[in-house]
């Protein structure tokens, strides 16, 4: 018998922070949200470090399972599916091959796309000193990874089993923000571009993107002044935190 979920999500706006809320919304799992104020260093407070010793968002606490904490977005996604995806909407349970394929793409995002775009975000947006070598290196790696996705999506709507799964849900929040990570256009990846547009139309995913604060990615793309304002804010934060 599946326990009725009672979950608190600790997160903030952003590409990585939106992954668990997308999973929760797609699975229809009720949850509460605590917005972690990163610029106030709330993620380093003792109470939060008990939930995530690494001092990063996102994290969850499953109160229905003795206040069990889970940190790291990939671990959270798999945990939620293993415990509450009874209809196998996002993660197959009874087909070992399909399950493995989904998990392979989830790890592909966690080990490739996420780190590559995270590094690029820093060098393109958050570091006040622009270093062309670092920016170009990150962009080239992102494009290489996008090429892998684009080829794998040839003749398919989604990455595994031709249906929306965790494989798609975990990469989408990062890839949709390609311009923010230094890859202005993805016209050279038509399958990937169509895939983004397809997922853009999913109401649950869009709802998840706007947790706990309204998603800003579209606004940043359409309004360079807003993007520049955010960049300066984050540059000030990182300058103070990293002493750069």
pLDDT tens, residue by residue, 85-141: 999 999 999 999 999 999 999 999 999 999 999 999 999 999 989 999 999 999 999
* Shared domain check, 224 and 149: yes
Q: What is the mean pLDDT of residues 45-70?
A: 98
Same domain, 103 and 220: yes
Q: How confident is the model at residue 4 (pLDDT cuts 50, 70, 90)?
A: confident
Q: How far apart are CA 103 and CA 96, in angstroms?
A: 10
Would residue 21 count as lying in a domain? Answer: yes
- What is the extent of the structural domain holding 206? 96-238
CATH code for position 80: 3.40.30.10
Chain segment 12-29, per-residue pLDDT in tens: 988 999 999 999 999 999
Taking the CA of residue 5 as centre, how many other CA atoms within 13 Å lie in the half-sphere pointing to its CB? Answer: 22
The verdict on residue 132 lying in a domain is yes
Average pLDDT over residues 34-54: 96
pLDDT tens for 200-217 read: 999 999 999 999 999 999
Average pLDDT, the chain: 95
Instruction: Report the C-alpha gap between 228 and 220 in whole angstroms.
Output: 8
Percent of the chain with pLDDT over 90: 90
108 shares its domain with 229: yes
pLDDT recorded at residue 2 = 53
* Owner of token pair 């890859």: 183
pLDDT confidence band for 1 (50 / 70 / 90): very low
Residue 143 placed within a domain = yes
Residues 173 and 234 in one domain: yes
> Picking from 40-44, 84-88, 111-115, 232-236, which range would have the lowest pLDDT averaged per residue?
232-236
Residue 211 lies in a domain: yes
Q: Would 140 be classed as within a structural domain?
A: yes
């Amino acid at each position: 018998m599946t326990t009725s979920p009672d979950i608190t999500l600790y997160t903030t706006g952003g590409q990585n922070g939106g992954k668990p809320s997308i999973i929760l919304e797609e699975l229809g799992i009720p949850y509460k949200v605590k917005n972690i104020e990163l610029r106030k260093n709330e993620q380093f407070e003792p109470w939060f470090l008990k939930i995530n010793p690494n001092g990063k968002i996102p994290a969850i606490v499953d109160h229905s399972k003795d206040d069990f904490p889970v940190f790291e977005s990939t671990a959270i996604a798999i945990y939620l599916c293993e415990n509450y995806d009874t209809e196998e909407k996002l993660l197959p349970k009874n087909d070992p091959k399909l399950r493995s394929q989904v998990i392979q793409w989830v790890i592909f995002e966690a080990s490739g796309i996420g780190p590559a775009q995270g590094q690029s975000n820093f060098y393109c947006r958050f570091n006040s000193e622009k270093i062309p070598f670092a920016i170009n290196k990150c962009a080239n790696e992102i494009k290489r990874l996008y090429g892998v996705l684009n080829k794998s999506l040839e003749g398919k709507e989604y990455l595994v089993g031709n249906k929306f799964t965790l494989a798609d849900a975990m990469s989408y929040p990062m890839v949709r923000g390609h311009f923010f990570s230094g890859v202005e256009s993805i016209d050279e990846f038509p399958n990937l571009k169509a895939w983004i547009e397809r997922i853009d139309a999913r109401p649950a995913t869009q709802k998840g993107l706007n947790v706990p604060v309204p998603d800003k990615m579209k606004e940043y793309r359409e309004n360079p002044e807003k993007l520049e304002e955010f960049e300066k804010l984050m540059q000030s934060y990182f300058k103070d935190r990293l002493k750069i």
